Amino acid sequence: MIPTRTATGGTRRAVWQALTILLGIWAAPAYSAEALPHHGWILTQNDTDYNRAVIARMREYAVTHAQLSHRIVTRVDQFDDPEVVARVRLLADDIHAQGAKVLVWAQELGEDRLSFCFDPDGADMRARMQRYRDALTQIPAIDGVVISFGSAPSELSTVVPSCQPAQYARIAERYKAMIEAVSRVVSDEFGKDVYVRTFYHKGLEIPFLRAALAETQRPITVMTKSEPNDFAPYYPLNPLVADVGAHPQFLELDCAGEYWGRSTIPFVAAEYFAQRYRETREQFAAGSEGRFIGSACRVDRYEHPALGTLNEANIDAQARLVQNPDTDWREILARFVSTRFGLAPGSAATTELVEILRRTYWIGRKMYYAKGDWAFKKGSTLPDSGTDALTLLLDKNIAQWNADYRSVTQQLLTPNRQTLLELLQEKREAVDLAERNLQALAGLRENLDAAAYAQLETLLLKQRLATEIWLHMTGAIFGLRHNSSHLESAARPWVPWHLGELERLAAALENGDYPQISDPYPFPPGDIRRLIANTRDPLLQFGPGSPPQWLAIDGIDIVETGPDSVTVGWQARAGLRYQVELTQTLPHYPQTYAPDSAITADGPVSLRIADLQPGTPYAVRVRAEADGQSMVSGDYPFWTRQTATAGGDAPSTRSGGGAMPAAALPLMLLLALWRRYAGRRVVGGRLLLSAGLAAGLSACGGSEGAAADGGPPPEPTVLRLEGSVGSAGDTLYLPFELPAGVQRLDATLSEDSPGNLGLGVFDARGADFGSPGFRGISGAERREVFIADDAATPGFIAGPLAPGPWTLAIPNFLATGKARVEVKLSFGSSAAGAALLPAQELARNTPGWYFGDLHVHTVHSSDAFSSGAALEPAQMAERAQAHGLDFLSLTDHNVTTQNDRLSAAAPPGFLLLGGEEVTTWMSGPGHLTVTGLQSGDWVDWRFRPSLGVFADTAAWSAYDRPVQVVLEQARALGLYSAVAHPMIWPGFGSNWGFFADAETDPAALPDGFEVWNGSADFALTWGPAALRRWDEELARGRHVCGNGGSDVHGVGGEVEVGRPATVVYAPALSRAAITAALRGCRGYMTADPDGPALMLSGAGPDGQQQLVGGTLYGSPGDSVTLSARVTGGEGAVLIWIHNGRSAGRVTLGAADQTVSQDFGIGEGGAVRAELRASALAGEPLALSNPIFLRLGAASSGGDESALIGQAAALLPGASPQ
């Protein structure tokens, strides 16, 4: 296809162009910004005639640079081919004739190499540079070279340095060496320009590129994709924007929609480009050594061009933004519509067509993404199967770049029924928008030339058909994913119905039911049928299909926007309750608005939201509720209009094609790998802040806030602190002096600070490891905290604010740039806060099987608090007791204020245990739950591995400690420590990174593993991996217990306290007895407190009798008999596991049954039992702790027959024996 100037008649268009120019209708607004110098096009297709036709239109759009890339040329090695040389020469001449510069891509390393000498004087580098000399000698018309490292035949980070290994072990040195070598040849010898393209696959590459670019002093220009890794409107801004040293930088954009239909279906993204421009300019304004100089846009994706399609609007948008970065995207689209289709500016027809183009952007977001996540295919076509889609989600999920999306990604990995329906609602909205576009186009038939109308109709019809196909693809793939873990789900008939609809649509395409569609890309019927064949599952799909039904929300639209308001409309149904939710930062919606009156009749309604900021991007969604049902729509991004006088105002830094956070650089799937190369600061210890110590602090002075003359206290003092946040995993420490008389401290991260930063406080006692001066820390969910002498932000310790050197601790969760913090110090008279109460020691003084939950969050965890569904400790205890539990461990993230008054919060007969989830975020990574803390105790989070893939290569900071220090302190305090979700995938920095340390030092192994976590379908996702790792440790003779934990963060979700529960046999319900039983592996885990009970015991040589958690000894030829007593498990399957291998299974035939089996003691290790609903069902009913097998003589305590008898008699559901 050869792109043409326009697809419409020329006379009417030319008239309007002349009139508008003469009348000055398109004059730049009063707030016009200075034009940017770099306006580039990137060509990818190896079709010379096509490329020449594209180049012929460059002057029309005032293009300054053209890049020849991908199938044209990607490596200087290709200039050995005469055809490549002839092609580039011809295109270069054409580009020069258009008044633009010619740039060619050059991947490095451009050859397959296992090793390479990066010494600039070495033979390898000299040979590489000779390639550049040869290329530029053959084609002197080349004006510049664009070096790119990602996706090269050999990527520098994986190539082994064959010379000077000490210097080039640092990966950044390899990048720097290549950049500088190319620059010396290309710039110094040939006088050409060198550009560095910062494309990367994963975040671990960011620090290498950043350091190499910042350190090189060569004259280079940097090109950076607007998003990290790949183009995606929900992704945050690329972290390398404005962070590449003192070099000019421009954005790489995608006008052709590689991932949004490749221009065969429209994706008009003017507002998306405008957003990226604005947040980029804000990043530079916030502090950068370099300068922003414009952008380059891909004008095709191989055989699919943007020119000559509706996506040409994207090319026009880039041109307008380079000319004036402040141009309103609505003006850009209105101008394009008028020019392209010959419509009068400001006419109703122009306005309607602008809305049609704008809706294609909404449609693409809803169609190609799932709740904002990249969940289907790396490309514009259908995934081949559900596995294909799952692989893409694991690789491309947004949570690796924006931690706020972690819960969304987890929902998509294991969708429940509500998640499935919300996805279908989102896809139905895409269908509705596409249908509205066709209806609106029909009303413009008389305003458009016949050819233009026919082209538009075909494109919009194709998009309408695509939305329907993607709806049913989503229902089939996510329905199957849901059904695989919900075997009795009412959603089971939906999958066959969706597959049947896909069959119908494939047949319609094959039968020619859509004669306008000559090219079915991106949904050829063969692709649809392949998806159907790969999605059918005879085990999980049976019976006739039926369509899903839900509380659908229809007709959502942005009716009107003003400088300070938006009006949202939708089709309402009588009796339903509606809310409109508003945000500037997806995926959270903190503001809610409801109609003034109840909905009493079906029909359209609208709601106006006022008091918004002008020229600012927001997003809304609509929520509906009725009779126990609820539904929430997808997002609808919009911008308030700019005021005539607001041109100088800084634009919003929110991003994501209209509503995403600008510098939110979230956790990645493999984020922990970063730590191998980037410096990091994070650790473990203990704090005791007792009432006596608080009194001592008070005695230090500074508690009186009145002026010396007895007058009113001084006015508040404001301090402004700032510092570089470093690399992911670093903790920035900002010291400041606290004067005497401060009654309250407020610390606030500024709006221009990067997202995904924590905020912690140490008082005058210092910030060293384990310092008693720790006053609390928050995750990225909070941007401000306060501490007063009588109150504090949840998770922070209230109390006297003693004068002296205080410190803010700011953990970096994957951000770049500077953190700026405003500290407000308020003076006044002191007030006494609530005193610490001693830990609860005893709830019941009788032996028994006690049910507990070892992983519980309250309002004191910032992530739980931000959900709005978290409970106070007393409320959580009441809820747990109502669900059949006897004890809880309150494990909030890195804080312990939840433990301050547990003895008063516990209901009668219930035990509340002090706990903490020691969270290293991404510096290990790893989370460790500890149980049994005294009031005031604290375990420092700043620990990291010494060995293995996550070990840091740089010198440790003074605040860091190895994990052994933390575990030794936990043991000294009598705590039970357990790895939380040790094998979670995707990890997001939460999986355990200390296994290598434990290989050589058993002291690096905690007491237990949380092998069963309450997050949705744990046992069907990463639970099996946790069990395998536990079995590996047991097989090696390690004494490691297993426990479960709900990981509940609030009420109203799928995760519920006590599911699963950890059950231990203990002589009393007391802090000492429960923690000792946990360390002794004296129990089992159950899916629910009302579920089956499972008691393991064993008999060995010489009369040994051991309860679960005990050890049986003997000689290599001896055997032992293990017995599993199960109550409430009739019909379930008992499975014996010896050192990770299934050693036998029995289907239970009675409600109270004992199963026994012999095992050889010579193999050692451990034996445990599992109870599952069936051999096929993934979710366990109960998991026992092991009995350990060891060679040697039995100890004096080898006979626990009395204990076994007592435990058996008290086993829940046991019948008299």
Tokens of 455: 């082209």
Q: Residue 1010 — φ and ψ, nearest 5°?
A: -80, 90
Q: Determine the pLDDT at residue 653.
A: 30
Whether pLDDT at 954 is above 70: no
Q: Are 1144 and 1119 in contact (CB under 8 A)?
A: no
Q: CA of 514: how far to CAs of 356, 430, 887, in Å?
A: 21, 20, 64
CA distance 314 to 336: 10
CA distance 562 to 568: 12
Cis check for the bond before 233: say yes or no (omega within 30 of 0): no
Mean pLDDT for 369-392 is: 94
Q: CA of 436: how far to CAs of 262, 340, 353, 1143, in Å?
A: 22, 22, 12, 62
Q: Residue 759 — φ and ψ, nearest 5°?
A: -150, 115
Q: Which residues of 60-84 are buried (b: 16+ CB within 10 A; e: fewer)?
A: ebebbbbbbbbebbbbbbbbeeeeb
Identify the CA nearest to 119 among candidates 158, 77, 159, 162: 162
Q: What is the DSSP string of 132-200?
A: HHHHHHH-TT--EEEEE-TT-SS-GGGSEESS-HHHHTSHHHHHHHHHHHHHIIIIIIT--EEEEE---
Whether pLDDT at 987 is above 70: no
Task: Return the residue matching tokens 């004087």.
Answer: 121
Whether pLDDT at 231 is above 80: yes
CA distance 338 to 355: 13
CA distance 1040 to 1029: 11
Q: Which residues of 1118-1145 are buried (b: 16+ CB within 10 A; e: fewer)?
A: bebebbbbbbbbeebbbbbbbbbeeeee
Tell me which of 628 and 954 has the higher pLDDT. 628
Give the helix, strand, coil percentages of the chain, each rounded to 5.
Answer: 30, 25, 45
Q: Are 1081 and 1185 in contact (CB under 8 A)?
A: yes
CA distance 562 to 641: 5
CA distance 466 to 377: 14
pLDDT digit string, tens, across residues 1026-1050: 999 999 999 999 999 999 999 999 9
Please list, in sequence order, all residues whose beta carbon lies within 8 angstroms of the beta carbon of residue 1090, skipping any fewer than 6 positions away: 884
Under the banding of pLDDT at 50, 70 and 90, the label for residue 672 is very low
Name the DSSP class of 1144. E
CB atoms closer than 10 angstroms to residue 596: 6
Tally of residues, the chain: 1217
Q: Are 617 and 686 in contact (CB under 8 A)?
A: no
Whether pLDDT at 255 is above 80: yes
CA distance 227 to 16: 37
Q: Give 1001: exposed, middle or buried? Use CB within 10 Å, 0-12, 13-18, 19+.
A: middle
Whether pLDDT at 958 is above 90: no
Q: What are residue 569's DSSP bridge partners?
A: 557, 606
pLDDT digit string, tens, across residues 1117-1142: 999 999 999 999 999 999 999 999 99
CA distance 535 to 538: 10
Q: Are 970 and 977 in contact (CB under 8 A)?
A: yes
Identify the CA nearest to 1110 among candidates 1045, 1181, 1184: 1184
Q: Are 356 and 440 in contact (CB under 8 A)?
A: yes
Please list, in sequence order, all residues whose beta carbon lies within 8 angstroms of the beta carbon of residue 799, skipping any fewer than 6 positions away: 689, 694, 697, 775, 787, 789, 833
Q: Residue 1134 — φ and ψ, nearest 5°?
A: -95, 130
The SS3 of residue 775 is strand
Q: Determine the pLDDT at residue 922.
A: 53
Whether pLDDT at 832 is above 80: no
Mean pLDDT for 938-943 is: 91
Q: What is the DSSP string of 866-903?
A: HHT----HHHHHHHHHHTT-SEEEE--BS--GGGTTHH
Name the DSSP class of 75. -
Q: Residue 433 — φ and ψ, nearest 5°?
A: -65, -40
Task: Return the residue matching tokens 């922990």.
Answer: 672
Whether pLDDT at 685 is above 60: no
Q: What percent of the chain is modeled with pLDDT above 90?
A: 75
pLDDT digit string, tens, across residues 724-772: 988 777 889 999 999 999 999 999 999 888 888 999 999 999 999 999 9
CA distance 1038 to 371: 43
The answer, as to whether pTM is greater than 0.75, is: no
CA distance 419 to 405: 14
Q: What is the DSSP string of 1079-1098?
A: HTT-EEEESSTTS-EEEEEE
CA distance 211 to 1011: 40
Q: Determine the pLDDT at residue 949.
A: 56
Whether pLDDT at 7 is above 80: no
For the chain, what is the mean pLDDT?
88
